[in-house]
A = this chain, B = another copy of it.
Amino acid sequence: MAKKAANAITPTRNEDYPEWFQQVIKAADLSENSAVRGCMVIKPWGFGIWENMQNNLDKMFKETGHTNAYFPLFIPLSYLEKEAEHVDGFAKECAVVTHHRLEDDGKGGLVPAGELDEPLVVRPTSEMIIGASYSKWVQSYRDLPILINQWANVVRWEMRTRQFLRTTEFLWQEGHTVHATSEEAVEETLQMLNVYADFAKNYMAMPVIKGEKAAHERFPGAVNTYTIEAMMQDRKALQAGTSHFLGQNFAKAMNISFQDENSEEKLAWTTSWGVSTRLIGGLIMTHSDDDGLIMPPRLATQHIVILPIYRKEEDKVKVLEYCHNLKKVLSELQYHGENVRVLLDDRDIRGGEKTWNYIKKGVPIRIEVGPRDIDSDSVFMGRRDQSPKEKSSVPRLEFINSAASILDQIQKNLYDRALKLQTENTKEFDDLEELKDYFTPQNKDKPEIHGGFAKVHCHDSPELEDILKSMKCTHRCIPLDGPEEAGTCIFTGKPSKKRAIIAKSY
């Protein structure tokens, strides 16, 4: 029990990983469930992470030639029907608007009125509504490529929801591009996959595997779906972003065609790609520990928190003044082209409680300042990537000069730690029984704990899906970077050219 009391989060990751996840969110004040089924409220501390994700991804999109635009929230039902696989994929989870006003029900309440001639679906994704615009915009090869991104909310009526990982409404970006040739569209699809992988690595400190999805895991209507897959601390896989080569399927459905240089009418080739607030779920589950959230510095809502500590009222003025000056100096420092984000919490509450508050909230660097620190012109520093007990006194000027590089060290440590977990828990299997063992929980009390990522030769066929389902696994991807290697499918014995990754997943 002594050990348990030392942790800020109950239960710990080992005790109950899914519940630990919820408790970290609560302790860090990131978000909460709302009164609307499956919809969450993203609170300021959580939204700060999303804003940093948005700003940095947006820069990367613009550097690769994309611009932003905005398309309608609603999709006429008849549009959705135009691509058969697509509508099959989303029909079961669509919020449908059927009326456009409210009317007195005669009993003091209101009822929907003004029924629409054609119901409108709240976008679950925007291929069809954006395609309708593109079919007008694209006339000639001179109009291509079209490289547009949209930041938006989307709605998918999920039966089981979990904050950040799967919610009825979520925030995302969706890129939608049109190209003259298949080659260009494939290149775009892979370029954006690489942008996502770079973002995951360099900003989220989250190592990912880039790969191609199996046929039954593709986006509805896509020719190829590429994914970045990350390993969470419970060794399950999280699909963190996807990039789709849509071939000519949507161009055909929405009539996106152009006259080429020889005045011949050609169907265009399209792509789409997206990441969502689900990334925040991935960020939490990659780094956080039994004391709460750990934010990688590149995306942290605040980089440094300053906590004034004084017991006697006579020390208050002196301590606060020192802290305000420190905040001012630190806020002018640059960290990767942005100003360092510094929070000074001068609320009148106990020092210990305050410190734990920011440990749980995952601020990379905590600075405590009391009268004795001021006497020696130093600060008392704690790093979130280290144990809460490992604090050290640092001369003020030395800290100021090294703050940015300490943030970089923390960022690197978090990445290295996550990569180590992924590497240690990724194994090749050629024997089916050993593979099954790998996915069997080693302890009945802890059903979450199992092997990790398995690299196996397997054959992409409908029967595969059933086999994997029985093992509570899914086909994550065929890694793009992995070596070609002749082998035979572990399930069917059929020939295979490359190992796939299978794993339990979110």
Contact = CB atoms under 8 A, between A and B. Distances in A.
A72 B74 CA distance: 16
Contacts of A152: 153
A133 B34 contact: yes
Interface string A75-115: 11101110000010001111111111111000001111010
Given A97-B97, A148-B44, A119 B112 contact: yes
A81 B109 contact: yes
A109 B120 CA distance: 14
The 4 A-B residue pairs whose C-beta atoms are closest, nearest first, are A39-B72, A44-B67, A91-B102, A42-B70
A2 interface: no
A99 B157 CA distance: 10
A197 to B, nearest CB: 26
Interface of A: 32, 34-36, 39-44, 47-48, 50-51, 67-77, 79-81, 87, 91-103, 109-112, 114, 119-122, 129, 132-133, 136, 142, 148, 152-153, 155, 157, 169, 171, 347
A504 to B, nearest CB: 28
Contact of A81 (B44, B70, B110): B110
A299 to B, nearest CB: 15
Nearest to A97: B95
Given A36-B120, A76-B36, A132-B35, A98 B98 contact: yes
Nearest to A348: B142
Given A80-B110, A92-B101, A102-B121, A32 B133 contact: yes
Given A95-B97, A100-B93, A87 B73 contact: no
A249 to B, nearest CB: 19
Contact of A69 (B42, B91, B148): B42
A309 B350 CA distance: 70
Contacts of A69: 41-44, 47
Contacts of A87: 102, 110
A100 B39 CA distance: 14
Contacts of A133: 32, 34, 41
Contacts of A81: 109-110
A99 B100 contact: no
Given A81-B109, A109-B81, A169-B74, A157 B100 contact: yes
A72 B112 contact: no
Nearest to A43: B69
A221 to B, nearest CB: 16
A118 to B, nearest CB: 9
Given A41-B72, A44-B148, 12 more contacts: A34-B71, A34-B133, A35-B129, A36-B74, A41-B70, A41-B71, A73-B122, A73-B169, A91-B110, A94-B101, A97-B98, A114-B157
Contact of A68 (B47, B99, B101): B47
A328 to B, nearest CB: 15
Contacts of A101: 91-94, 96, 157
11 contacts: A34-B132, A35-B79, A36-B74, A39-B72, A44-B67, A47-B68, A77-B102, A91-B110, A96-B100, A98-B98, A111-B119
Contacts of A47: 67-70
A80 to B, nearest CB: 7
Contacts of A136: 32
B34 A72 contact: yes
Nearest to A150: B47
Given A41-B72, A169-B72, A91 B109 contact: no
A109 B94 CA distance: 15
Contacts of A102: 77, 80, 87, 91-92, 94, 96, 121
Nearest to A133: B41
A107 B275 CA distance: 36
A163 to B, nearest CB: 12
A62 to B, nearest CB: 10
A186 B98 CA distance: 40
Contacts of A72: 34, 36, 39-41, 169
